[in-house]
Chains A and B, each alone.
Chain A
Amino acid sequence: MSFTDNVRNLEHLLEIKWDGVSWTDESDNLLSASGVQGSVPIWRLLGGSQPQQPWTATFTLKNVDNRYSPTNSSSPIYAYTSASMLYGIPIRFSMIRPSVATERVFTGYIDTSGSSAKNLNFTLHCVDNAHPLMQSRQSTTLYEDQRVDEMLVTLADLVGIGAGARDFDTGLFVIPFSWLDEESVWTEMNMIAQSEGGTVYFDRNGDLIFESQEAWLSDTKRTTSQHTFLASNIFDVMTPFDWKNVYNRVLVQYEPREISGTVRLYENREPITLQPGQTRTVVMRLSRPASSIESFVNETHYVIVNAGGSDLSGDVTITPTTYAQRVVVEFENTGSELAYVNRFDIYGTPLVGAPTMDRELDAADSDVGDPASDAIKLLEVGGNPYIQTIEQAEFLSEILRDRVKTARQIYRINGKGYPTLQPLDRVTIQESKAGLNHTGYIQRVSWSYAGAYNATYEIIDDTSWLLFDISDYFVIETSAFDDSHRAYY
């Protein structure tokens, strides 16, 4: 038996890593918990320029003894709560079916918190493991021709998410140029994944997951029903149609880029003064991201003199650290005179972009009519700098068109919860009163726990998500040409 069976007699485990090293069991203080997993609708994952919302959870704890109050100096965890004000502390939550299984429901960090004097409790609002990535702004060198998953590995390594804490599909596309310039790692990761219609998220165990567009065909959790919702476990089911998000024209923007010839990318506007013995770091932001920059040569790229104009370049060491769109230069004046860096130019080969291009596709068989004769309802996807080629734009526009041209059946199931189910899982709904025996994909989970674990699942019907059965598609090294198998997008 597992959590996908009828769930009774559940216990819970709430742990917080106060000291950043060891988990402390706070289960006895938990009054209630709730959370949200996933963004809606899932077609917004295709080519978007905004990160999907990370999973969140809220835990309400008993605080009779002011254990969690950061101002309570007698609390045994005062050293940690006062130092951090509970911000950014790791937290995880599991449901336990005694002697059967323990399943993690949430892994993340405390984001905000507060107490209620009236109720003598303390509430923790938490965000999944994307939390530190949302705060982390990084700069990188310019990466050329990186496959989507390769670039994600680069960024994951940058923020310390090692191979054991991530699971990436092989990407379908190669991105010509990628770089970060003091940008949010989480936002960029999302846009990179979405540039090929994939998705990136932290799962309930806290692992970073990248699923390519092909996961719709190859990932077992999307191809095989992970659970059947039966009437006996459903409190209520609603079946609205998502008419609002139906379109008969889609437009995907892409931004072609190329490396240009050598140009000046930076010039200092005012002298940099260096006291004798002083080390000074200057961030030089380039006018464009650069594929390469020239080495710095005295009198060609810079001039360093004393107040009288005599050359002091021999007294100053220059140590550059180069990123795609900035160079951090450390100047060290080892001499005994005040030195002036009167000129400092950076030359290099910049990345230049062409005007944004559009790839537009019509759906003559749309539920809102043929755009050739009826009103046009346009879905525009743009602003993703990792969509740089017409091939990416065509791929995304065709997928999008097929996903949004018809109204989709939505099922909102309110009932007993199953901790193992996550967004994008394929599930079955069997409810005779509503006449349902359908399969679909979970878009969003809202769960709650206060002695019982319940959840509301928003599920999108899988009809016309894939226009053909998965077994109809052509697989390299498996399908023969005379098998009548079909091409994917």
Chain B
Amino acid sequence: MTFPNFVAGQYLSAAMVNDLTADALTAFGRATAYRQGFRMMDESYTNPISTDDEVVIWQGYMLYKKDTLRYDLTVGGSSQQRLRVYVIRSGGEDQVLNLSVSGAGTVDLPTAGFVSGVTGTIYPVEVRIARSGTTSTINPDDDVSYLALTDTLSYTAPTTFLSTDVITAAQLNAIRTNINALVSAGAYIPAPQIRVDADIVFADDTDPAENAARFGYRHIHDDLRLRFNALTVTGGEGRLRFYYDGNQVYTLDTGTGSEADTVVDLTNSGVHSYTAGNIYVAKITLELNNSNEEQTVSVSHRQASQFANGATPPATVPNLSHGDIVTEAPFNWYGTLYDTIHPEASSPTIPLYYEGPLVRKVTGKRMELVHRDRYLKYVYAGPGTPTISWGNGLTAGLPTGDEDEVLVFDLNEISNLSAGQRYQIDDVYCALEDDDASPYA
């Protein structure tokens, strides 16, 4: 915060207007930020349970910055089973959800029992199955489809100013409030980890009938196109099929080298329609031409509207200097931008994505991230030294600690790691970027 609120009778300061512009462009940048795909969260558990113990069926982490947990869980097979979500904290754990039937919804973490959470902390999260009755054995058929931290973001229609209007301090402050709400919500777009090794190495799979999901992720629908960029294919020739919400939307016959960036236009997917804000699964399947071959595919996603040369904010971006004539145009621009990116606006063209999916605990696998925020927070796996790899074969060791300890690395220490650049992390349980090192040293 640099400027106080506007007040009636105040001389309009160019610096204050330009500060609004800076905040608005920050929100726009967050709406168009690189949105990397993350591994599909689907986790099924069907093994019989015959004890009173809880069985962990999913382990992951949340970067705690919001209080609302969104979930989509399937509980099937027995009325005596429960599906529970726990947040693990130092010295204990808090059960924040206890489902007996399938459900999707949200839960307020402090109300549910997770109190005094420290913002910026990475907390382990577990989903467990439990038996509530006396039946000797239950046969669950449970799925963990989606877990995320999210926020509420209300929409207030912006004022349209006429040339004859006299703008009030309240209207100016409302512009700032609306923009800052977007900036705040947008600050919690995670730069999620993906696994770039085993999950997407397909070997000896020549049966097109299987068509099992080889790679995928949950996606909050925000655009009519998906972009799979940096699509690296090595190994034998084959066919990749792209699915969205269960519908096949694209097919790519791969060679044995890198493929050009691929844009999947969902408007060409026939009769299917999608609703902005809904969560859909995007996935890829692979059919190989020959047996005893394998392909390695590296895929990520970002919003269609910001690839190529990047998205352009609405014209004309306000920038006042001392002595400039003040018109209504700058103040209407803020409204235009607000409606462009606010997901609750009537027709946002670049809706802000402000949900942070929980990331799965990964063991012995390589993470890949796209650099955006200054600090790398990671959960040390041990016993060796984690490494960060970037650029053309450049690597460096990361600080070590105790197993499960959260550590922070200032990515500014890598002078040639630029924003938007991919890099890899080895030998950690979880790696996430954050714009704030707090509360870790």
Contacts and interface: CB of A to CB of B under 8 A. Distances in A.
Contacts of A475: 9-12
B260 interface: no
Interface residues of B, number: 42
Most chain B CB inside 10 Å of its own CB: which residue of A176, A395, A399, A487: A487
A489 B15 contact: yes
Contact of A174 (B4, B9, B321): B4
**Sorted from nearest, which 9 A-B pairs have the closest CB atoms?**
A261-B441, A487-B14, A477-B8, A474-B12, A474-B326, A481-B328, A261-B440, A488-B11, A482-B163
Contacts of A218: 9, 11
Given A170-B4, A476-B8, A481-B163, A468 B325 contact: no
Contact of B7 (A170, A173, A487): A170
Contacts of B161: 481
Interface stretch (B31-39, B164-172, B419-427): B164-172
Nearest to B14: A487
Given A349-B438, A467-B322, A476-B10, 8 more contacts: A260-B437, A262-B441, A349-B439, A395-B15, A398-B321, A402-B322, A481-B167, A488-B14
Contacts of A214: 10-11
Interface stretch (A91-99, A237-245, A268-276, A386-394): A386-394
Contacts of A487: 12-14, 17, 320-324, 326
B13 A488 contact: yes
B12 A488 contact: yes
B198 interface: no
Interface string A466-486: 011000011111111110111
Interface in A374-390: 389
A172 B169 contact: no
A313 B413 CA distance: 42
A399 B14 CA distance: 12
A473 B167 contact: no
Contacts of A478: 9, 166
A450 to B, nearest CB: 44
A38 interface: no
Contacts, number: 131
A171 B323 contact: no
A396 to B, nearest CB: 10
B6 interface: yes
Contacts of A486: 322-326
A394 B15 contact: yes
A218 B167 CA distance: 19
B327 interface: yes
Interface string B136-171: 000000000000000000000000011111111100
A360 B326 CA distance: 25
Most chain B CB inside 10 Å of its own CB: which residue of A261, A391, A474: A474
Chain A, interface size category, equals 35 or more
A217 interface: yes
A477 B169 contact: yes
B191 interface: no
A488 B322 contact: yes
B168 A481 contact: no
Interface in B280-330: 320-328
B18 to A, nearest CB: 8
B317 to A, nearest CB: 15
Contacts of A145: 1
Contacts of A489: 13-15, 322
B11 A473 contact: yes
A475 B7 CA distance: 10
B243 to A, nearest CB: 42
A391 B19 contact: yes
Interface string A351-371: 000000000000000000000
Nearest to B328: A481
Interface string A154-174: 000000000000000011111
A432 B162 CA distance: 50
Nearest to B410: A260
Nearest to B441: A261
Contacts of A477: 8-9, 166-169
Nearest to A291: B438
A218 B327 CA distance: 22
Contact of B439 (A170, A173, A262, A488): A262
Interface in B11-32: 11-15, 17-19
B376 interface: no
A232 to B, nearest CB: 38
Contacts of A481: 161-167, 326-328
A352 to B, nearest CB: 9
A401 to B, nearest CB: 10
Contacts of B163: 480-482
A125 interface: no
A134 B320 CA distance: 40
A485 B325 contact: yes
B408 interface: yes
8 contacts: A173-B2, A391-B3, A475-B10, A476-B7, A477-B8, A481-B326, A487-B321, A489-B15
Contacts of A398: 321-322
A283 interface: no
Most chain B CB inside 10 Å of its own CB: which residue of A171, A174, A395, A485: A395
A486 B161 CA distance: 17
Contacts of A476: 6-12, 167-169, 172
A260 B9 contact: no
A120 interface: no
A468 B323 contact: yes
Most chain A CB inside 10 Å of its own CB: which residue of B1, B2, B6, B161: B2
A489 B324 CA distance: 10
Nearest to B168: A477
Interface in B115-129: none
Contact of B408 (A261, A484, A485, A488): A261
Contacts of B4: 147, 170-174
A217 B13 CA distance: 12
Nearest to A259: B438
Nearest to B172: A476
Nearest to A263: B441
B13 A174 contact: no
B218 to A, nearest CB: 31
Contacts of A260: 437-438, 441
